[in-house]
């Protein structure tokens, strides 16, 4: 078990519906990470942007992007994380992939599809809670719109890290900032959010605001709005243990179940 986990967050523009070019661009960025890290996080739908044109861009779990992620994870000795459009059993999913250097893949299908733009009409919502176990850390992966639903992310499993990948638009980025911080505080965990920048093929604007918050809601990153950047943050188990032992708020959490 590692007491520290070093995370690289890549805040990037995306090329609209062009998986090949996005893979090329992200490989260049990843190749420029000189420090050894444990996890590299890319945005939601990092090969395409937030598209409803699933039939054109969807890949399978044996597709090129999966192979690309496996190769990079092996080369960097770091887990590669991000969501892409997956076709499976005649359905489309907005699926987060956590690809380890060993080649082992964990996945999470976005539960809360974004009805405002019809994501629910194109993509099948996931139903499964996922807790990843990596290097002694318990990580809860979620995607973008999931951030607005605190019951779904409630820390009933004593996970260490809450991880969101996103295409969260600029007009509502203040909500992104507040909700990421709130999720860290209420769940007494590190909360990571990786968002894109730039303008997509539908003229939606994205300003980034990627961030890491600690158990007390203190921001550990300094991303600038509208700019591509890579930042590395070290998470510490002792920070989580110290404050959960001192401030036993999770002991008073409500008990509930999903129906």
Q: What is the pLDDT of residues 220-255, one digit of tens each?
A: 999 999 999 999 999 999 999 999 999 999 999 887
Is 144 noted as a catalytic residue in this protein?
yes
Report d(CA 16, CA 201) in Å as an integer.
6
Token couple for 171? 């007009």
Distances (CA, A) of 213 to 47, 164, 233: 26, 12, 10
Which residue in 44, 59, 100, 186 is the catalytic one?
44
Per-residue model confidence (pLDDT) at position 254: 84
**pLDDT higher than 80, residue 259:** no
Arithmetic mean of pLDDT, 78-102: 98
Is 138 catalytic? The answer is: no
Interval 51-81: pLDDT, tens: 999 999 999 999 999 999 999 999 999 999 9
Q: Which pLDDT score is estimated for 80? A: 98
- Distances in Å between the Cα of 79 and the Cα atoms of 165, 171, 204, 219 are 15, 32, 30, 23
pLDDT of 258 > 70? The answer is: no
158-181 pLDDT per residue, tens: 999 999 999 999 999 999 999 999
Q: What is the mean pLDDT of residues 140-149?
A: 98
Residue 256 pLDDT > 90, yes or no? no
* Ranges of H-type helices in the chain: 19-31, 54-57, 64-76, 119-122, 150-153, 173-187, 237-246
pLDDT at 19 over 80: yes
Q: Is the pLDDT of residue 257 over 80?
A: no
Determine which one of 70, 100, 110, 170 is catalytic.
110
CATH 3.60.110.10 fits 4-252, yes or no: yes
pLDDT attached to residue 255: 79
- Is-catalytic flag, 44? yes
CA–CA dist 129, 144 (Å, integer): 15
Cα distances from 90 to residues 56, 87, 123, 188, in angstroms, run 14, 7, 11, 39
Residue 101 has pLDDT above 80, yes or no: yes
Q: Is the pLDDT of residue 34 over 90?
A: yes
Percent residues over pLDDT 90 in the chain = 97
Residue 1 has pLDDT above 80, yes or no: no
**pTM of the full predicted structure?**
0.97
Q: Which one from 59, 119, 144, 191 is the annotated catalytic residue?
A: 144
Angle between helices 64-76 and 19-31 (to 10 degrees): 0
């Amino acid at each position: 078990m590692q007491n520290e986990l070093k995370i690289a967050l890549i805040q990037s523009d995306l090329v609209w519906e062009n998986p090949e070019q996005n893979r090329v661009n992200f490989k260049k960025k990843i190749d420029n990470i000189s420090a050894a890290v444990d996890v590299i996080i890319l945005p939601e739908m990092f090969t395409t942007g937030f598209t409803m044109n699933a039939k054109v861009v969807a890949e399978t779990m044996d597709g090129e992007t999966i192979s690309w992620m496996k190769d990079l994870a092996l080369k960097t000795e770091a887990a590669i994380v991000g969501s892409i459009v997956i076709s499976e059993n005649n359905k489309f999913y907005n699926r987060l992939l956590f690809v380890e250097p060993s080649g082992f893949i964990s996945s999470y299908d976005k539960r809360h599809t974004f009805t405002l733009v019809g994501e629910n009409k194109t993509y099948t919502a996931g139903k499964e809670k996922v807790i990843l176990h990596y290097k002694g850390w318990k990580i809860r992966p979620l995607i973008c719109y999931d951030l607005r639903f605190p019951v779904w992310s409630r820390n009933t499993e004593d996970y260490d890290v809450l991880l969101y990948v996103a295409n969260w638009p600029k007009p509502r980025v203040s909500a992104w900032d507040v909700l990421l911080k709130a999720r860290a505080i209420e769940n007494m965990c590190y909360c990571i959010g990786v968002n894109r920048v730039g303008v997509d093929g539908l003229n939606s604007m994205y300003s980034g605001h990627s961030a890491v918050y600690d158990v007390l809601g203190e921001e550990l990153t300094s991303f600038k709005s509208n700019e591509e950047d890579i930042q590395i943050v070290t998470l510490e188990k002792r920070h989580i243990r110290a404050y959960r032992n001192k401030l036993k708020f999770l002991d008073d959490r409500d008990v509930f179940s999903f129906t």
